[in-house]
Amino acid sequence: MRSRHLRLGVNVDHVATVRNARGGRYPDPVRAALLAEQAGADGITAHLREDRRHIVDDDIQHLMRDLKVPLNFEMAATDEMVGIAVRHKPHAACLVPEKREERTTEGGLDAAGGHNHLAPVVKRLKDAGIRVSLFIEADPRQLDAAVKLGAPVVEIHTGAYCEAEDVATRARELERIVKAAAHAEEIGLECHAGHGLTFDTVAPVAAIPTIVELNIGHFLIGEAIFGGLESVIKRMRALMDKARSDAVGRRSA
């Protein structure tokens, strides 16, 4: 699947991180989500973690009530989270691996090795009308496993690309993403990507024609301290749009 328009999903988890540092209600991730919507986000992503370290249950309820754009509910494949997803019926649910001691989602889901555990979770979410995506490494084996699980969407982990410390490693990691995104199209999966993306790293990923959505959070929320959330989102949107239209132009030249 290809699209000229590359969707931007804004992840508001870290607005909640700042709120929870003090307790209380400020800053409100729902207010940030509504502002992101106005600034050009095509969707909002929120991860309800088992330990509720940032987003809490009420945030999900308020996001479902107030958002006009789709909510992508990031979740671990647990009974508790499936129950919450099925109750709220967000547009999409992205299954991620979750470890209590990690600071952020460190790696992709093992869709191949976890088939027996994941299959009933994917089925319950799909039966509830939720579009299921699996957050996986740029590995063809994991993409093939997503198809076997019946997931229509994958989100490719861009962390290794973003965190690469030298040019050669970054180029190698980008190539893995390019190949995985092409493979996704061949086997009929919708392809998203995200994790660690910044103004400096977004363009080469945005240029990949078979990626239709990027989910970006930490950098946008951090950068908003300096530039304001609206202008930071607009700048990210503009960088994504330019990279995509330049790439379309190069291919048709």
> Which residues are known catalytic residues?
47, 74, 195
Phi, psi values for residue 204, rounded to 5°: -60, -30
Nearest to 246 by CA among 201, 192, 189, 208: 208
Nearer to ligand PXP, 37 or 219 (CB): 219
List interacting residues with ligand PXP (CB under 6 A): 11, 13, 47, 74, 94, 96, 104-105, 135, 155, 194-197, 215-219
Element (H, E) at 110: none
* 7 three-class SS: strand
Nearer to ligand PXP, 160 or 216 (CB): 216
Nearer to ligand PXP, 37 or 155 (CB): 155
| Smallest distance from ligand PXP to CB 190, Å | 14
| Smallest distance from ligand PXP to CB 22, Å | 21
Give strand pairing partners of 224. none
Q: Are 67 and 33 in contact (CB under 8 A)?
A: yes
| Smallest distance from ligand PXP to CB 13, Å | 6
Q: Are 236 and 216 in contact (CB under 8 A)?
A: yes
Nearest to 115 by CA among 83, 154, 155, 146: 146
Q: Would you give the end-to-end CA distance of the chain in angstroms? A: 21
Q: Number of C-alpha atoms within 13 angstroms, CB side, residue 219?
A: 20
| Smallest distance from ligand PXP to CB 137, Å | 12
Nearer to ligand PXP, 53 or 126 (CB): 53
Tell me how many degrees the CA angle 202-241-74 measures, rounded to the nearest 5.
55
